[in-house]
Amino acid sequence: MEFRYLGNSGLKISEITYGNWLTHGSQVENDMAAQCVRAALDEGISTFDTADVYANTKAETVLGEALKGERRESLEIFTKVYWPTGPGGKNDTGLSRKHIMESINGSLQRLQTDYVDLYQAHRYDTETPLEETMQAFADVVRQGKALYIGVSEWTADQIRAGVELARELNIQLISSQPQYSMLWRVIEDEVVATSAELGVSQIVWSPIAQGVLSGKYVPGQPLPEGSRATDEKGGADMIKRFMRDDVLTKVQDLKPIADDAGLTMAQLAIAWVLQNDNVAAALVGASRPEQVAENVKAAGVKLDADAMAAIDSALGDVIERDPGKTKETSPQTRVV
């Protein structure tokens, strides 16, 4: 495992970070989830990312149990706040002071820890003044409940405004957590450029495009049993944008590139996002321990210029680059 600094801070995190979205508390039984976390620890992963909304708080509980007994100082634990939790009442969502202060307490209890290393705004809240949100985050930091602040799926302008307020409040906003993969490059032109200027790193989710870049979905063939594309609990909805025949056909053209690099297609996809200097970590999940061991082999891999060019050529016009997609895919009004 290799480690990278998160933003313009002194915090180092594992460049392969374990995330438990769509798995713990829903798709994967608790004992298997614990085995996956143990496999991550055994492979040198020290950074774990979750959110209160995952499985409506159950994912945090599962992760807290799985990490119980580990030396806290050797771990970096991240969680998030924004989406509706609990019964979904009028104040059970968003980035109001009320929801943030109540949510951090719930997350810490479920994670069985006194603090999280990174507390992230899971989306931008268009209905709460940013000043209110950042003041609440500052108070969470001053209370010792979080060490650093981050955001997820914010636009470049939103990140800039957040960083400016954070600096006025003397706290550190050091990370952005967007979707990023060979197929989904919408952050490159604006979010990455702005983040690099401001000292903010990317912790990217879905580097394998929900499994599409593993090559397991073949045009004209039945969907693999038990795969994300067959998951009616949410996985199928997330993956459907990539399940077009033109995308799946071009993904198959990546196989010889992966073979030449001595990697599986999934490892190639993870290694690709880590070539971006502004990326601090790639988030990977797992439903089986052996998947963790395979994903970790992407750590430290350097892809040469020929391989990077070959990837671009293979995927061609199925790559999504429009920076406007960041705002498009985020809620424009608060979700209740």
* CATH number for position 109: 3.20.20.100
Residue pointed to by tokens 């209890």: 109
Say if strands 146-151 and 116-121 run parallel, antiparallel, or are unpaired. parallel
Inter-residue contact 76 to 11 (CB < 8 Å): yes
Q: How many CB atoms lie within 10 A of CB 277?
A: 11
Among 103, 272, 274, CA closest to 203: 274
pLDDT of 24 > 70? The answer is no
Strand partners, 201: 175
Percent of the chain with pLDDT over 70: 93
Question: What percent of the chain has a predicted confidence (pLDDT) above 90?
Answer: 78
> Is 335 within the bounds of a domain?
no
Residue 50 lies inside a defined structural domain of this protein: yes
| Number of domain units in the chain | 1
In a domain, 259, yes or no: yes
Structure tokens at 216: 């397991």
Task: Return the amino acid letter for 13.
Answer: I
**Is the Cβ–Cβ distance between 65 and 35 less than 8 Å?**
no
Q: Which of 54, 82, 119, 180 is catalytic?
A: 54
pLDDT in tens, 70-116: 999 999 999 999 999 988 889 999 999 999 999 999 999 999 999 99
- Residue at 156 is within a domain: yes
- Sign, Cα dihedral of 38, 40, 45, 48: negative
Domain span at residue 133 reads: 3-328
Give the residue-averaged pLDDT of 9-27: 82
Tell me the average pLDDT of the chain.
Answer: 92
Q: What is the pLDDT of residue 282?
A: 97
pLDDT at 330: 87
Alpha-carbon distance of 57 to 235, in angstroms, equals: 18
The answer to whether residue 124 is catalytic is no
* 3-state per-residue secondary structure call for the chain: CCEEECCCCCCEEECEEEECCCCECCCECHHHHHHHHHHHHHCCCCEEECCCCHHHHHHHHHHHHHHCCCCHHHCEEEEEECCCCCCCCCCCCCCCHHHHHHHHHHHHHHHCCCCEEEEEECCCCCCCCHHHHHHHHHHHHHCCCEEEEEECCCCHHHHHHHHHHHHHCCCCEEEECCECCCCECCCHHHHHHHHHHHCCEEEEECCCHHHHHHCCCCCCCCCCCCCHHHCCCCHHHHHHHHCCHHHHHHHHCCHHHHHHHCCCHHHHHHHHHCCCCCEEEEEECCCCHHHHHHHHCCCCCCCCHHHHHHHHHHHHHHCECCCCHHHHCCCCCCCC
Whether 40 is covered by a domain: the verdict is yes
Residues 6 or more apart in contact with residue 152 via CB below 8 angstroms: 80, 82, 120, 121, 122, 123, 176, 177, 178
Q: Is residue 133 part of a domain?
A: yes
Write out pLDDT tens, residues 142-158. Answer: 999 999 999 999 999 99
169: left (phi over 0), alpha (psi -120 to 50) or beta: alpha
pTM metric for this prediction: 0.92
Domain contains 232: yes
Band of residue 26 on the pLDDT scale cut at 50, 70, 90: low
Alpha-carbon gap, residue 58 to 38, rounded angstroms? 18
The Cα–Cα gap between 288 and 32 comes to: 7
Q: Which of 39, 48, 74 is nearest to 297 (CA)?
A: 39
pLDDT tens, residue by residue, 253-296: 999 999 999 999 999 999 999 999 999 999 998 888 999 999 99
Q: Is residue 15 part of a domain?
A: yes
Residue 179 has a pLDDT of 97
pLDDT at position 302 over 90: yes
* pLDDT of 230 above 60: no
